[in-house]
Structure 1
Amino acid sequence: MARKWILSLALSLAAGLAQADTTAAENDGFTRPLDQLQFNPYLDQREFERSTLDALQVYDPWESWNRRVYHFNYRFDEWVFLPVVRGYRYVTPGFVRSGVNNFFSNLGDIPNLLNSLLQFKGQRSLETTGRLLINTTIGIAGLWDPATRMGLPKHSEDFGQTLGVYGVPDGPYVVLPFLGPSNLRDTGGKVFDFAAESQVNYLNVAEVSSDHPEITALRVVDIRDSTNFRYGQTNSPFEYEKVRFVYREARKIQVAE
């Protein structure tokens, strides 16, 4: 009788611990991702297999290190970045946040223009030049964006795209600390774009920022505030592979534009 009672108690404790572990894991957003999975009955099996293989064949020789950096970025975003962004939204009125975003977006048109010229994209170069002139003058140093209302769309061109246009391969996939997904070619492109913007020193912002790091900090917070991606939002244990695949395909499209 005592043995049965002890066995029953042990089983009850084990079940309780298992349930607690499952609840804790579910709060992290990475368990039971297949519960809501629905298959399209009209999906071609060969196409499904081909797309799955494509996702797995991203060149990622540093995957072990990249996954560590990805996890670091996930936790930093959860514990530091997003709380700062929420505080920024709480204390800053919407129209002020919009003005800050427009201002830094206007600065970003400098590397956009340089790379449009390097890629011999005449129309985009003219449109970006027009945006710079209009937003810097009528828009008061870029705090407003009248150029978009006047029919001049915002373009995004970087030196990684420029290298891709000239046939430079993307190279190994890389996850950069804080910055997220990239590849070897685009990482070098980021360095070039940063150096170009600093050398041009448009509106004297680069020089002033060297003495006032809070301007750079504000720009970083603004970028995170305007970026919709959230780690764990896919509720999938394969999020790393998904982000890697989407990044590669998105860059292919951008280079081909």
Structure 2
Amino acid sequence: MLFPALLLAALATGGCSTAPVVVEGDEPEPPVFSASRVLRPDVEQFGDMDDPFAPFNKTMYRFNYRVDKYVLLPLVIGYYKVTPRFLRAGVHNFFVNFRNITTFFNSVLQFSGRKSAQTAGRFAVNSTIGLAGLFDPATAMGIPQHDEDFGQTLGKWGIGAGPYLVLPLLGPSSVRDGVGLGVDWYVSNWAREALLDPNDWWKRVWTFLYVIDTRAHVRFLYYGTGSPFEYRLVRELYTTKRRLDIEK
């Protein structure tokens, strides 16, 4: 629902879109990821999964749906209506570049010299030539983008995911990934304070833009899969995606 890239982005198998699609009523909304393209919506295809918190998780899933529908999506629609595309692109590039800090941190902890060097290179290029990350010359230079988080780091260290967990406002997760999210938040917040020394006003602007930009680039819409088993389908997609992230 806040959908940090760590969580709901894991549900998006397509690329990010910088422009909304037109839906009923000609209201722009974020692109929708149809999970039915991956799994048949009319067949329950899910094996046993570790979900002892299912009653809580399903309650949070419905709560997050309402927050998404009545708060986040209207904000995203308004943001797209009043903000020029070039400015939205700059905001998105800025946050993607800033996330390189946590990716670098986790790449080092994963003992990946290649990813660490490439991520440091991207951050250096985009933070200088790219004007604080508003532009992305690193991609044009062929420097690949990586996305590592502490949940993946724990997984690479051999720590199991633990039970599936739907976090209030944050969406699909697990016990391990929830811990990882807290560590990544701490590192990101420390970096923001150290590099930018933002005042309270700037922090509020940062948080607002981060939430809106992140939600706008997540190709997922609650109850948009067409499946009567959406809760389990999303759980399966999230769990599978995280496993693949760790194995890569």
1:84 aligns with 2:75: yes
Call closer, same or farther: CA 1:38–1:131 in 2, change over 3 Å.
closer
CA drift at 1:81: 0.7
Instruction: Give the match's secondary structure for 2:223.
Output: coil
* TM-score (normalizing by structure 2): 0.80
Decide which of 198, 201, 204 is 1:208's aligned counterpart. 198
Call closer, same or farther: CA 1:230–1:38 in 2, change over 3 Å.
closer
Quick one: which amino acid aligns to residue 157 of structure 1? Answer: E
Contact 1:209–1:215 (Cα < 8 Å) also in 2: no
Call closer, same or farther: CA 1:65–1:175 in 2, change over 3 Å.
same
Quick one: which amino acid aligns to residue 178 of structure 1? Answer: L
1:254 aligns with 2:245: yes
Contact 2:127–2:133 (Cα < 8 Å) also in 1: yes
Q: Give matches, 1:216-255, under 5 Å.
A: 216-255=207-246
Decide which of 50, 53, 66 is 2:57's aligned counterpart. 66
* TM-score (normalizing by structure 1): 0.77
In the alignment, structure 1 segments of 5+ residues that lack a partner are: 1-32, 40-47
Superimposed CA distance per residue, residues 48-96 of structure 1 (whole angstroms, 9 cap, x where no aligned partner): 99xx3xx231111010010010001111111111011000000000110
In terms of mean alpha carbon deviation, does 213-222 or 194-203 score higher?
Answer: 194-203
Contact 1:107–1:202 (Cα < 8 Å) also in 2: no
Decide which of 159, 165, 170 is 1:174's aligned counterpart. 165
For residues 95 and 153 of structure 1, the distance between their equivalents in structure 2, rounded to whole angstroms, comes to 22
In the TM superposition, structure 1's runs of 4+ consecutive aligned residues that sit over 4 Å from their partners are none
Partner of 2:175: 184
Call closer, same or farther: CA 1:84–1:106 in 2, change over 3 Å.
same
Higher relative contact order (CA closer than 8 Å, sequence separation 6+) = 2
Higher helix share: 1
For residues 209 and 155 of structure 1, the distance between their equivalents in structure 2, rounded to whole angstroms, comes to 30
Instruction: Give the match's secondary structure for 2:159.
Output: coil
Greater C-alpha Rg:
1
Aligned residues: 209
Percent of pairs with identical residues: 44
Call closer, same or farther: CA 1:163–1:209 in 2, change over 3 Å.
farther
Cα RMSD (Å): 2.0
CA drift at 1:114: 0.5
Quick one: which amino acid aligns to residue 159 of structure 1? Answer: F
CA drift at 1:210: 4.2
For residues 249 and 229 of structure 1, the distance between their equivalents in structure 2, rounded to whole angstroms, comes to 16
Decide which of 153, 160, 167 is 2:151's aligned counterpart. 160
Decide which of 82, 87, 112 is 1:121's aligned counterpart. 112
For residues 202 and 156 of structure 1, the distance between their equivalents in structure 2, rounded to whole angstroms, comes to 22
Contact 2:162–2:176 (Cα < 8 Å) also in 1: yes
Call closer, same or farther: CA 1:93–1:124 in 2, change over 3 Å.
same
